[in-house]
Amino acid sequence: MNSTPPSSRPSTVFGRGSYAEALRIGEILRKETVGGALLVSAAIIALVWANSPAADSYFALRDFKVGYEPWHLELSLGAWAADGLLAIFFFLVGLELKREFVAGDLRDIRKSIVPVAAAAGGVVVPAVIYVVVNLTSPETLRGWAIPTATDIAFAVAVLAIIGSHLPSALRIFLLTLAVVDDLIAISIIAFFYTSDLHVEPLLLALVPLAVYAFLAHKYRHFFGLHAASAWLILLPLGVVTWALVHASGIHATVAGVLLGFAIPVFRSQAGGGPQAGPGLAEIFEHRFRPISAGIAVPIFAFFSAGVAVGGWEGLVSALADPVALGIIAGLVLGKPIGILGTTWVLTKATRATLDSSFKWIDIFGVALLAGIGFTVSLLVAELSFGHGSLHDDHAKVGILAASLLAALLATAVLKTRNRQYRQEEEREKVDADQDGIPDVYQDRA
Determine contact, residues 106/164, Cβ cutoff 8 Å: no
| Orientation angle between helical segments 168-192 and 253-261, nearest 10 degrees | 120
Residues contacting residue 305 through CB under 8 Å, at least 6 positions apart: 42, 43, 46, 47, 378, 396, 400
The Cα 278–Cα 67 span in angstroms is 38
The C-alpha R_g of the chain, in whole angstroms, comes to 22
Report the DSSP pairing between strands 65-66 and 75-76: antiparallel
b/e map of 192-204 (b: 16 or more CB within 10 Å)? ebeeeeeeebbeb
Residues 50-88 as b/e (b if ≥16 CB within 10 A, e otherwise) read: bbeeeeeebeeebeeeeeeeeeebebbbbbbbbbbbbbb
Closest of 178, 174, 193 to residue 123, by C-alpha:
178
| Other Cβ atoms within 10 Å of 28 Cβ, number | 21
Beta carbons within 10 angstroms of residue 30's beta carbon: 12
> Which amino acid would we find at residue 242?
W
User: CA 341 to CA 188: how far, in whole Å?
Assistant: 23
Please give the pLDDT value at position 24.
58
SS3 at position 354: strand
Distance from first CA to last CA of the chain, Å, rounded? 35
CB atoms within 10 A of CB 127: 20
Q: Which amino acid is at 171?
A: R
What was the pLDDT predicted at 438? 46
Give me the tens of pLDDT residue by residue for the chain, a chain 445 residues long.
444 444 444 555 555 555 555 555 556 656 667 777 888 899 899 999 999 999 999 999 999 999 877 777 888 898 899 888 989 988 988 888 888 778 776 677 776 788 888 989 999 999 999 999 999 888 899 999 999 988 877 887 787 777 667 777 777 788 778 878 877 888 888 888 877 788 899 999 999 999 999 999 998 888 888 889 989 999 999 999 999 998 888 888 889 999 999 999 887 666 555 565 678 888 898 888 888 888 998 999 899 888 888 778 888 888 889 999 999 999 999 999 999 999 999 888 877 677 666 788 888 998 999 999 888 898 899 888 887 788 999 999 999 999 999 999 998 988 888 777 776 666 666 665 555 544 433 433 3
Determine the 3-state secondary structure of 65 from DSSP.
strand
Side-chain-facing half-sphere of 293: CA atoms under 13 Å:
24
CB 119 within 8 A of CB 177: yes
Contact 147, 126 (CB under 8 A): yes
Using DSSP, state whether 367 is helix, strand or coil. Answer: helix
- Asked whether 90 and 260 are in contact (CB, 8 A), the reply is yes
Alpha-carbon distance 14 to 31, whole Å?
23
Contact at 8 Å (CB) between 168 and 176? Answer: no
